[in-house]
Structure 1
Amino acid sequence: MDTRARPGRRELNKLQTRERLLGATRELLAEVGAVTTVEEIAERAGVSRATFFNYFASKDDLLAELYAALLAQMDEVVEGLLVGDLSTEERVVGVFADFGHHARERPSYLLAFTSALERVSTSEQVAERSDRLAGLFARVLEPGLAAGEVRTDHPVPFLARMVSAIYIASLRQAWGREETAEFAAGFERAGRFAAEAVLVR
């Protein structure tokens, strides 16, 4: 039996307000891009500007929370790829293909969001996110090293950084472009290129 206390009405209201603010931001990024303002987000969520600041210190903090959710989704994708009976190449391409899939579903949002996030991030935040992404790719590559699929002339952390650099470069290439379907296909091609760069041939 689950003995955890259920959140009360006040806590549920807080969670719902927070989710409305996050959802409003996703909608506005998709519709108007990175230029959306705190006032527009609050209005779309049906709350006051003051209420917005009860939940987030700034729009940048809200974007950081959206990014944390995106990384959590990537963690789940990597876990799913690791438990499957897949080659390292299939796993690397799978991480890229997952973003390509989401780009087809929500193209305007993802491109505006990633562009906005980079514009407001400090160099320390960019470095931290780069480290986190490289860590995800290291997890993808390590089983392949044991299986003899991953090259050994460079350590896995270096190879993982190389793959994550290709991932980030693919994102940056898409900013400001309209042909999101082509971008999604290109992102998957970039995944194959990244896999070729780190595998034994």
Structure 2
Amino acid sequence: MPASRALPSAKLSQERSRATRKKIVGAALRLWTERGFDEGFEATTVDEIAERAGISRASVYYYFPKKEDILRELAWTTAEQIHELSLRSLMSGQPVDRVLDDILQQLGETVARSPKAAVRRMLQIRDQAPEAIARDSAAGGMTRAFSVVIAHAQEAGELPRSTGAIEIAETISSIAMGAIGKWALVDDLDLPRTLRLRAALVLAGVRALAN
């Protein structure tokens, strides 16, 4: 088969796979939320998730052998969205402070729409899986998203080069995860505002160190 035909077919297969995974995650999250996450997560069966998603039980197991894998997918999907947003934001020509502000505003709003119990469980799973941190740094995750923005700002002269883009990005990612963890435990934290403030403090610190 010519490569020109094989590539669209492969892309179509990837899109179908992504759509199926999205259906499963959405169905599971709705069921867990309806029942109260802590109880729903344990009580909801694969058959119920499959029925709500409109797919077979075997398909659920094919993509997600364990329910924890569905939570990992939810976290990874959020990180991918942030990475895509960072690439779009760079095309706007806005200064790095505004770009990061917009990214963290959207991240905060996205996370804040999720059940806090689900976020707490996702963070526990992440902490128990070192490979998740490596995956985040490798491609598409939040650290990668921030590093792209920071590197661009350094090339444009908006930020000093005395600190590496990856180091700055890892710092922002770390404090973002810390803020999300705090939000999941308390009732009165404005997550988008907190994320934006902490990122601004990091940028101020980077600039101060260079002087």
TM-score, with length taken from structure 1: 0.76
The equivalent residue for 2:150 is 141
Q: Residues 89, 184 of structure 1: CA spacing in aligned structure 2 closer, same or farther, 3 A cutoff?
A: closer
Shift of the alpha carbon at 1:141? Answer: 0.5
1:61 and 2:64 correspond: no
Structure 1's unaligned 5+ residue stretches are: none
- Cα separation, 1, equivalents of 2:159 and 2:191: 27
Structure 2's unaligned 5+ residue stretches are: none
Alignment counterpart, residue 27 of structure 1, candidates 25, 30, 50: 30
- Cα separation, 2, equivalents of 1:55 and 1:123: 18
Quick one: which amino acid aligns to residue 133 of structure 2?
Answer: A
The equivalent residue for 1:125 is 131
The equivalent residue for 1:184 is 192
Q: Aligned to 1:37, what secondary structure does the other structure show?
A: helix
RMSD, aligned α-carbons: 3.3
1:158 and 2:167 correspond: yes
The equivalent residue for 1:72 is 80
TM-score, with length taken from structure 2: 0.73
Q: Residues 51, 78 of structure 1: CA spacing in aligned structure 2 closer, same or farther, 3 A cutoff?
A: closer
- Cα separation, 2, equivalents of 1:196 and 1:16: 41
Q: How many residues align?
A: 193
The equivalent residue for 2:93 is 85
Question: 1:22·1:66 contact (CA, 8 Å) conserved in 2?
Answer: yes
Q: Which protein has greater RCO, CA pairs closer than 8 Å, 6+ apart?
A: 1
Quick one: which amino acid aligns to residue 26 of structure 1?
Answer: L
Q: Residues 115, 42 of structure 1: CA spacing in aligned structure 2 closer, same or farther, 3 A cutoff?
A: farther
